[in-house]
Amino acid sequence: MAKKKREKEKEKRLEFSQKKLIAISIALSLTIAIAFTIFALQSTDIPFSINAVIIDQLALHEPNPTFVAEATRILQSRNFSVSYFNESLHVDFFRKLAISNYGIIILRVHSAMRVDNSTVDLFTSEEWTQNKYPSELVVPGNFSYDPQKFYCAITYHFIEKLDGRFPKSIVIAMGCWSLNKTFLAEAFIKKGAKAYIGWTNVVLSKHTDNDTITFLERLLIQNKNLMDATTGLEHAYYDPELKQNITTTMTFYPLEMRNLKISDLLAEVKSYKALIVFNGVPVFIVKVEFLREN
């Protein structure tokens, strides 16, 4: 009887010890999860995302399905999940840009220099309505081939005020003058983007389409750095208004990112178990392992 009693007491102690270990394991896992979440809430450095997006506002007047298919193929070859949008690209669509967790953002959108040459704005497909939006964030813009029709164009202040942050994104702005001034580029970088690629002057749609494919091939397939990926991508045009030849070059910002490779960004993706971005806030999911009773 004494022996059986001792065995039962031993089993109870063992059961209590196992439950205690389970409780400790749960508490430790929750502590780690809370610590990661607190860190994420305080941090402005969101890890890179393998989600990509092609925003095709040019499809309104200059569609190019070949470009879309080829860009998608290149992105998917490096395991990016690709989203494509070419309709209802209104102001409200762009408001969600920084909370959608895109690691590569291809802006196949028109952009234009203001009349006073002060800055560049990005076009939406929404027709202009007077006093609908704050003038600091959205301005009217028109195309030279249709000067009577105006569209809403978003400013760099609009980018600065977006909810959320970009996950170390590479932003490729394919429109004219997209990197003639640095205000737009700086706005994206301040919101978490790693690099911004654009043109220094006017560029034809066929040229920006072809050269963006070349850039993507160099960056994603050949794993070249930003400096090498943009080298030689330039064109010369005659400007009838200025009555002079101009040269436009694909370049990047900031220049200290010249050695950045896609492999550098993809390497850190593996260091995270999972990441959910909820309303622009990164929430880390950690693996919780429970001790099981034998």
52 token code pair: 């990509």
pLDDT at 67: 98
Measured distance CA(263)–CA(268) in Å, rounded: 9
3-state secondary structure of 206: helix
Over residues 81-113, the pLDDT tens digits come to 999 999 999 999 999 999 999 999 999 999 999
- What proportions of the chain, in percent to the nearest 5, are helix, strand and coil? 40, 25, 35
Burial of 293 (0-12, 13-18, 19+ CB in 10 A): exposed
Which tokens hold the place of 70?
Answer: 């080829």
Alpha-carbon dihedral of residues 260, 263, 264, 270, nearest 10 degrees?
160
Q: How far apart are CA 77 and CA 50, in angstroms?
A: 12
Report if residue 8 sits inside a domain.
no
Examine residue 5 and state whether it is found in any structural domain, yes or no.
Answer: no
The domain of 146 spans: 51-271
- How many domains are contained in the chain? 1
Max CA separation in the chain (angstroms): 109
Per-residue model confidence (pLDDT) at position 167: 96
Residue 284 domain-assigned? no
Report pLDDT for 276: 47
Per the domain annotation, does 10 fall within a domain? no
CATH number where 139 lies: 3.40.50
For residue 269, the model assigns a pLDDT of 82
* Cα three-residue angle 229-231-232, rounded to 5 degrees: 130
User: So what's the pLDDT on residue 293?
Assistant: 36
129 in a structural domain: yes
What is the pLDDT, as a whole number, of residue 159? 98
Residue 2: inside a domain? no
Task: Write out residues in the chain with pLDDT < 50, as ranges.
Answer: 32-43, 273-281, 283-294
Q: Is residue 24 part of a domain?
A: no
Asked, for residue 175, whether it belongs to a domain, the answer is: yes
- pLDDT for res 274: 46
What does pTM read for this prediction? 0.79
Counting runs of H as helices and runs of E as strands, what totals does the chain give?
Answer: 8, 13
